Structure 1
Amino acid sequence: MVGLSFEATPDPVAASHHAIHQAGATVSSALSALQVPPLSAIPFIDSPTARPGRWAQCLAMVQDIWDAELFVASSPEGDSGLLVENAAATNDTRAKLSERLPVYLVSPPGEAAWIREARNPSCLYPTPNPSANSSRTKRTREDRDATEDQSMQEAPSATAPGTPAANGAASSSEATTDKRPRPSAQGDGKNGSVGLGLNHPVLGQAGAFAVVAKLYDATAGRELKVNTLVRVVGILQEAMPVASGNDAFAEEFAARNPEIVKRLHVVQMRGAEEWEINPATAALVANGGQQALAEARQELKAVLPGVRDMLIKYLSSALCDDTVAAEYLLMCLLSRPAQRTEGGDAIGKLSLNLVVPKEVSDSQPDFSSQLSKAIENVVNAVVPVELSIASLNARELYPKKDYTLNRLKAAPLQLAGGAVLLADETRLSNGHLAERGLRNVRALSSLAKQCTAPLDFQYYETEILVQCCPVFVSKGSKSIIPADVVVRIKPDTGLKLQKWDSYNEDLLRKMRLAMALLTEQGEFDISEGASKAVENEYVAARKSGQAKDGQATLQSWLALARCCSRSFGEAVLTPERWSHARQLEAKRAERDRR
């Protein structure tokens, strides 16, 4: 390993199988004994350098959690199903059984193209040449001969990537005797299990991947929740062929064992933070830890006025050069639900309804799609959803349990932390909403108000938390979904701004980093001066009858002021930021009166 400054277990499958057969060994101790390479040296599962039987990683969202499965941890014959797909079935009563939890992971829904492109596909970790029987399995001479023949055909080396030696196969059923072509995890799902394909929340998402993670930590499995963003490091394996059948059990088994999706046997799994998605902030932490992230936020303050102005101009160019609407959109994109009240309301989020003038929508039918692309250039993920009578009645926008397949069917409202939901209502017309359409509207309303979405188990419903930024684009009038703020777009024909699609990559990188650093962090306070200003204005509004909703009006004012402060990189509301937020509201109200 010349030139490498780290040590790692070169053949983790063989090492784990050796460790599990030692006296007193457990699955936990066998996995803990493995030396994991640094993240910078581990390829992502969708990288061309990722190989079966080798270290791989992914940053993904938990789409579904399945029932635990049994496998043979160790047996007198030396077989083991640890870190491999073959469960090493045996009739020997002395064999030790264990459980692992399959977790269905998908790439963050709506993941921006610039994030996929920034992902480094190269791996610094060399692939050694493990012995063909390193996994301590007993195979027949015919199996070995067939494996060696195929290895010679595929590559000049007997340990070419993808062969059983590289896979760390545990038995003859893992050998590459199955010569059928295997679709990759990036496949379109047409040959997938029982019509679900990748079962990704965003249909047709470019570069989307899915993987079945096999979790050996029971405690971590109990704490895992749907929609959680996780960082996983483990051993990549191919799916095993599934025997065909026509009965209901065979259909369910095929759905729970999709051949188009690879497996990742988990050695390490932890909850991931939003900053890990952005390559720039991830690099900061990798080089200097969390302190580097805090220092970067402090350094940003010195240049923030210019960067903030650039962000507003950039967003304005996608909003008919409307700087007021752009400022509200910026605040929405930076907002996150940081706390929840006893009533379930989310504090820190800001849902936004952008009302496009009818003449603009008619002359620019692609207004929403262009806005979606502009936003995607500076945020981690955007999920566009078209809202029409037909689309609302056609499919559920929320995840729903399919008891025939025993899987959770993915839906657009399954969103990872920080994703922007851009709901386009500009094609919405008069019509009849069926029961499904009405439930979709209620689900969108819940998302806008509380940042939650229903999880439909048919016999009952529960809610999942969704850390997203809801933006609703309507034509001529307010959205059918009540939002925190409604902004009527007012085109500024006299302002000739640089168009969003002409910004160079250097400027885009600066704006992406600024967006990541300015995002809501959870801690917020109100200065004494701002508190006095808020009190005075609220008392005056109550006396004049402008604060008709009482406490709700005050809460909406404070929510907007909080988001305004965040857009200036501040975690304390000052009189200056309070005044700025109130001036914005005055401009917005003037548009409503017109």
Structure 2
Amino acid sequence: MQTAARHVWWRPPPMRRAGRSEATRRTTTWTRSLRNNRTLVFVFSSSLRDPNSSSQLNCFPNVSADHAAGLQGPTEMQSNGDCKRQETEAPPTQAAPASHLDLNFPLPGERGPACLVKVYEDWESFKLNDTLEVFGILSVSPALSALAEEKDASSSFLDPAEGMETAEEQRVHSPPASLVPRLHVLHVKPLQHNNPLLPHAISDDNGAFLSSTLAEMPSVRAELLAYFTHILLGDGLAAEFLLLHLISSVYSRRDVLPLGKFALNLCGCPAASYTERLYQILQQLVPCSWYLAMSLQNMNQTRLRPRKDYTANRLVSGSLQLAQNTSLFLDETQLEPGQLDATGVHNVTALGNVISWQKVDYDFNYHQMEFPCNINVLIASEGRSLLPSDCQIHLESQVAPAHLEEYLSGIQVLPQTSSQLNRFRIYLSVARLLDYSISDQVTKYVEDDFVEMRKDDPQSVSAEDLHRMLVTARLLCLSLGQNHLSRDGWLRAKHMEMLRRSRMEQHQSVNGNEP
């Protein structure tokens, strides 16, 4: 049995009750080590494509079957030609019986099946929101669930605390196996990525695939850049920064600073219909994406932060529990006059923490806990975003306003051929996975150049500007298939940053309230 898990989170351990003796605590430790298993909750996400929904999740809805079969093998493909991740969609016959059961999905409107995965060793190696491939024995028989419940009941004689679960706890912790099957793990393989068009790992073992892909990257980049320029109303500079944003990823953390993130604020978007069309295009290019319309109702009602439910003794999922390298599209063009309530303020704060620190807040009522994440955030807005960002670029339309609607209606959501679409998908994933380094000579050159830039006007270039240019240079080299920084790459990144700053200053002089 082979499945691909999207979201992973631990079931919190029961709180230690007051008044238990030391002997009881020792017995608890012994019995738990004797049983030696832990339960993981896996959510297998399907593709949500409802254009009227305020939140959508995408997982490559139409990967070319022939290409995926050639890389993954025929046993991982369905007979209808969809990629193996489509196998996780719940059968229509099971949707109705599960309606009364809260499966605790992170995303609103999620319809994918859930699974209780029984792990018997090395459970400490799993991290929140890891993407895993699980091999095990699937159990859907209610009789087996009954046997497990009898075993748990017998174990309560050794550990009285195990038998003190309330009816609510039992309902959410032990759902019927016919609705939430059990998977007893035999082997778990962490996934470096979740793109079905690529081998499981980009390494020397796949040297032929990697070398051929690197050779094609400059030409594919030019095609993708032309496509982005077209959908961004003829703005080539904005297309460059959008491409760099899509291949960005957190590759390391230094103290509290996540390195590699590149949250982009695309301001000057003409209308809400344009941003929705833009998301429909981008969701075809990345393996996982989620669209959040930042309307007043959504911000006040959507649960973005996970929180602890002490009645059921479980963690209630939040929408920011997203898999690694998920593209989060925040649509600020949906903003409207009104007042944020306490939930809305917490949601805005949580989004800011994800963008600035790549951390998700978990609400345990009496205290907050932060867990690291790796989420690509793209903010589309009419003016300056109310959220922070690493880079802000104002969209300069080359299309006359009188012909804007006609131009938007003519934008193709998909490229002309599926083979071209798959080339774009492979390019973006491979560019994100490439190694990168800076030689000592180039480091010295960048340092001297930075000192030279600050010589005439120290206030013109700050340390933050240097950091942004280094991130831009890194992503620019990776987008060209280069795994090291060159002098030409640094100069090109400087030129892009100069053009961006010049454009932002120009709009600031025209609109005093703009950045």
TM range (shorter): 0.7 to 0.9
How far off its partner does 1:335 sit? 0.7
Distance 1:124 1:309 in 2: 32
Q: 1:488–1:187: structure 2 CA closer, same or farther, 3 Å change rule?
A: farther
| Equivalent residue for 1:587, pick from 495, 499, 511 | 499
Which residue is equivalent to 1:329? Answer: 242
- 2:118, 2:182 within 8 Å by CA — same for their partners in 1? yes
Which residue is equivalent to 1:62? Answer: 8
How far off its partner does 1:452 sit? 1.2
- 1:488, 1:592 within 8 Å by CA — same for their partners in 2? yes
Distance 2:208 2:454 in 1: 41
How far off its partner does 1:99 sit? 3.7
**Which consecutive residues of structure 2, in runs of 5 or more, have no partner in the other structure?**
15-32, 46-56, 78-88, 147-163, 507-515
Distance 1:349 1:56 in 2: 32
Distance 1:562 1:408 in 2: 38
How far off its partner does 1:525 sit? 1.5
How far off its partner does 1:493 sit? 2.7
Which residue is equivalent to 2:44? Answer: 107
Which residue is equivalent to 1:564? Answer: 476
Secondary structure of the residue that 1:593 maps to in structure 2? helix
| Equivalent residue for 1:339, pick from 252, 256, 261 | 252
- 2:6, 2:129 within 8 Å by CA — same for their partners in 1? no
Aligned: 1:493 with 2:439: no
Which residue is equivalent to 2:331? Answer: 424
Secondary structure of the residue that 1:433 maps to in structure 2? coil
How far off its partner does 1:123 sit? 4.7
Aligned: 1:555 with 2:467: yes
Q: 1:375–1:293: structure 2 CA closer, same or farther, 3 Å change rule?
A: farther
Secondary structure of the residue that 1:317 maps to in structure 2? helix
| Equivalent residue for 1:263, pick from 167, 182, 185 | 182
Distance 2:500 2:60 in 1: 31
The 5-angstrom pairing of residues 21-36 of structure 1 reads: none
Which residue is equivalent to 2:449? Answer: 536
Distance 1:237 1:202 in 2: 26
The 5-angstrom pairing of residues 364-375 of structure 1 reads: 365-375=272-282
- TM-score normalised to the size of structure 1? 0.67
Which residue is equivalent to 1:517? Answer: 430
Which residue is equivalent to 1:355? Answer: 267
Distance 1:482 1:270 in 2: 36
How far off its partner does 1:121 sit? 11
Aligned: 1:232 with 2:134: yes
Q: 1:300–1:583: structure 2 CA closer, same or farther, 3 Å change rule?
A: same
Q: Deviations over 1:535-588 (max 9, x none)?
A: 32443235314446x322322221222122211122211111112112211221
Aligned: 1:462 with 2:369: yes
Overall identity of the aligned pairs, in %: 24
Aligned: 1:252 with 2:157: no
Distance 1:234 1:185 in 2: 21
Q: 1:501–1:115: structure 2 CA closer, same or farther, 3 Å change rule?
A: closer
How far off its partner does 1:333 sit? 1.0
- 2:64, 2:422 within 8 Å by CA — same for their partners in 1? no
Q: Deviations over 1:475-506 (max 9, x none)?
A: 1x111111000111111239999734242101
Q: 1:589–1:56: structure 2 CA closer, same or farther, 3 Å change rule?
A: closer
Q: Deviations over 1:286-335 (max 9, x none)?
A: xxx83244443333333322110111122233322322112111111111
Name the amino acid aligned to 1:257. Answer: S
Distance 1:250 1:502 in 2: 53
Aligned: 1:309 with 2:222: yes
Secondary structure of the residue that 2:216 maps to in structure 1? helix
How far off its partner does 1:511 sit? 1.2
How far off its partner does 1:381 sit? 0.7
The 5-angstrom pairing of residues 376-395 of structure 1 reads: 376-395=283-302
Q: Deviations over 1:245-264 (max 9, x none)?
A: xx982222111223322221
**Is 409-418 or 519-528 further displaced after alignment?**
519-528
Name the amino acid aligned to 1:583. Answer: H
| Equivalent residue for 2:304, pick from 397, 403, 406 | 397
Distance 1:421 1:124 in 2: 28
Distance 1:295 1:572 in 2: 21
Distance 1:473 1:230 in 2: 31
Q: Deviations over 1:241-285 (max 9, x none)?
A: 899xxx9822221112233222211111232211xx2122127x5
Aligned length, in residue pairs: 435
Distance 1:502 1:561 in 2: 28
- 1:538, 1:547 within 8 Å by CA — same for their partners in 2? no
More helix, by proportion: 2
Distance 1:588 1:237 in 2: 56
How far off its partner does 1:187 sit? 7.7
Distance 2:314 2:91 in 1: 18
Distance 1:539 1:239 in 2: 71
- 1:454, 1:463 within 8 Å by CA — same for their partners in 2? yes
Q: 1:443–1:185: structure 2 CA closer, same or farther, 3 Å change rule?
A: farther
How far off its partner does 1:188 sit? 8.4
How far off its partner does 1:59 sit? 3.5
Q: 1:536–1:99: structure 2 CA closer, same or farther, 3 Å change rule?
A: closer
Q: 1:124–1:315: structure 2 CA closer, same or farther, 3 Å change rule?
A: closer
Q: 1:437–1:116: structure 2 CA closer, same or farther, 3 Å change rule?
A: farther
Name the amino acid aligned to 2:39. Answer: P
Secondary structure of the residue that 2:243 maps to in structure 1? helix
Q: Deviations over 1:211-246 (max 9, x none)?
A: 1101111xx223322212222100111163899xxx
Q: Which segments of structure 1 move beyond 4 Å, counting only runs of 4 or more? A: 115-125, 183-191, 494-498
